[in-house]
Structures are given as structure tokens and as C-alpha cells.
A = this chain, B = another copy of it.
Amino acid sequence: MSDKQRALVVLSGGQDSTTCLYWALDHFGKDSVETITFDYGQRHIIELKSAQKIASIANVANTVIPINSFAAMGGNALTDTDIKVDNSLETDTQLPNTFVPGRNLIFLTFAAAFAYNKNIHNLVTGVAQTDYSGYPDCRQKTMEALEKTLKLGLECKITIHTPLMFKSKKETVIMAKKLGGLSALAHSHTCYNNQYPPCGSCPACQLRAKGFKDAGITDPLLQKNHG
């Protein structure tokens, strides 16, 4: 790997992308990583502050890019406050109502455009096929197709790194600890209902809790004084 390789991490402020940031720091080196965060009208807006805090702890640049389009299209529980977050699956799609169609495709395409302008050829994203919430835009095959699309559409070298793709939440927690990311994870945000202490009942909270429990590690978020 050339020492000129740089990477852009899509940092949501959540557990997985925070872990990916620490993976990238380890893989590309601490001076070769920056982060991008999308403000897309998400209900869990506290994620944006988490992302900025985490980038600050990791000492990397963070750029927030707004996306006002999802909210304009409506129809999902993450950007539409009229819809209650629900654990059950929609009868027609068999997907949870937190599914924002195309969200990761859009995030990574904007990230690629941003990276293109900065001559960065590596994107890092925390999508995972294991333990995923049924989102088809988190799968390996989707990422492979998207990488090809971005290479052709931007006519440039681009690699999408997905270090968590086949890891369970337990393995992700262990990985974060090994890479020194636990202190940053204390500031990560997961709860879809935007509550602190976390609601504990939304799909995201349940997945996080199970991962820490299975890893035998206490979630630093729950130890933190958020006063």
C-alpha cells in the first residue's frame, strides 16, 4: 500500500461507523483519514454531535454535508416524525419501517463525489451483512455493485472498504476495544428514538446491547456521565 493512500470514513456517529474509523486509523495511518457525516433530517439528530465529538477524539477532520431530499420524499420512520419507530416488519416489503430506501447508496455516492474532489480513493463504511436489520443496501453484493458503479460513473479508482461486513455485533465490539476505540464509543449514539439513556427497546438499542453482552464488555455509553 502506498503511503499516499488516504481514506474517507462515512461517520454517522453510531457504533459501527465509529469502530470503522478506528479500523481506518489503524489501516491507513492517523494522518491519512478524514470523515464525512450526513445531516439528512434524521430523527436521531444527536448522531451529528456524536460524530463531531468522535472525530475530535480521534483527531481527524469531519465534514457535515446536508441532504434535504429524504425528508422531502417522506414515508419512513427515520426522517418522518409522524411515523413511530416500529420493530415489526412492513407486510409488503418485509423490511422495518426505519428503512430509508437507498440511504447507503446515496451516502456512499455523495462520499465518493466528495472524495473525488479531494483525490481520495478509499471509502470506509460500517455496513454489515451479519446482524443487519434487513436492509438490502448493507449487503456485500450491493457494495460490490456500487463500487463498480462509482468507478465507472466517476471514472476513477475507488475502493469501498467494509471492515464489519461479516462480523457479528459481538465481534465488532471486540474489534473496537482492540483498536482503542472504546473511549470514542462512549460518545457514539445508537437509539433510533433519540433518547438518553437509550430507550433500550428500539431495534438499534437491542442490537447494541446484545453485542456488548455477548462480548462480555460493558458499553461505555452506559457508564458515561451525560449530565
Please tell me if the beta carbons of B67 and A67 are within 8 angstroms of each other in the complex: yes
- Asked if A154 lies at the interface with its beta carbon under 8 angstroms from chain B, I say yes
Please tell me if the beta carbons of B104 and A153 are within 8 angstroms of each other in the complex: yes
Q: Return the CB mask of A152-194 against B: 1 if under 8 Å, else 0.
A: 1111000000000000000000000000000000000000000
Please tell me if the beta carbons of B65 and A66 are within 8 angstroms of each other in the complex: no
Please tell me if the beta carbons of B136 and A146 are within 8 angstroms of each other in the complex: no
Known: A69-B65, A69-B67, A117-B75. Contact between A150 and B105, CB under 8 A? yes
Interface size on A, residues (CB 8 A): 38
- Can you tell how many copies of this chain the complex includes? 2
- In the bound complex, CA of A102 to CA of B4 (Å): 24
- In the bound complex, CA of A152 to CA of B70 (Å): 19
Please tell me if the beta carbons of B102 and A112 are within 8 angstroms of each other in the complex: yes
Chain B minimum-CB-distance residue to A117: B75
User: Contacting chain B: which of A26-34, A49-57, A137-145, A209-217?
Assistant: A137-145
- In the bound complex, CA of A214 to CA of B77 (Å): 52
- In the bound complex, CA of A65 to CA of B69 (Å): 6
- Asked if A110 lies at the interface with its beta carbon under 8 angstroms from chain B, I say yes
Tell me the minimal C-beta distance from A201 to chain B in angstroms.
26
Please tell me if the beta carbons of B65 and A73 are within 8 angstroms of each other in the complex: yes
Report B-chain residues with C-beta under 8 Å of the C-beta of A109: 102, 105-106, 109
- Asked if A148 lies at the interface with its beta carbon under 8 angstroms from chain B, I say yes
Chain A residues with CB under 8 Å of chain B are 65-70, 72-75, 93, 100-102, 104-106, 109-110, 112-114, 116-117, 136-137, 139, 141-142, 145-146, 148-150, 152-155
Across the A-B interface, the 5 shortest Cβ-Cβ residue pairs: A136-B155, A102-B113, A101-B113, A137-B153, A145-B149
